[in-house]
Amino acid sequence: MIPAESLGSLQESLQALWATTQEQPRQERELVLISYLTTLASSSLHAPPLFFAVIPVDQAAVHLDTLLQLFFSVAFSAVGPAKRRIWVCSMCTFLTLSNAVMERMGLILEAVADVLDEVDPLEVNDEETPTGARRSLLVVQKSKFLPPTIPYIKQYVCAQLNKCAQMVGSDAFNQCMTLVEADVFSKIQAL
């Protein structure tokens, strides 16, 4: 949990990051914006009250659109896969906030499907197979720095979709899901 005395300065920092990501024309390089957006996405997952103090619920769609706009280009950076996992979880958080997000459901689920196709970085791929103790140490060491794992993302997506269906009603939810691309829909359905 974040100490209460640090929330003010943290909120100011997040507000500065948010303002920079929304500049038109953009002054910062895309890689800098990606880092800022990842910080904001992480705060939406770990400190939602702080996130929504910076970006009100009615502006969540703007944050979502910004993530979606850069999502597929992030994959080509060295840190892309890790950041995309955080972004996907953040995007799924918004499924339970407002009906306005429903029109972006197909894009969100396409992003989820794309992330689920990635190789899980917890798989240790050393040239030589590490022994039990060394492998455990490597997994623990790697897991300290990793974003959500694929199994966690699958569980989180399912939970958020269920909450979304309850929120908007099964008819509206099913109608929205019919607009999702068939291959994406089948991947999500397989969760």
Predicted confidence (pLDDT) per residue in 85-142, tens digit: 999 999 999 998 877 788 899 999 999 999 998 865 545 444 445 555 555 554 444 4
Q: Which of 84, 108, 86, 85 is nearest to 96 (CA)?
A: 108
Give pTM, 2 decimals: 0.77
- Closest by CA position to 109, among listed 5, 9, 31, 190: 190
**pLDDT tier at 7, thresholds 50, 70, 90:** low
Q: Residues for the chain: how many in total?
A: 191
pLDDT single digits (tens) 25-37: 767 677 788 888 9
Q: Identify whether the C-beta of residue 161 lies closer than 8 Å to the C-beta of residue 176.
A: no
Q: What is the mean pLDDT of the chain?
A: 81
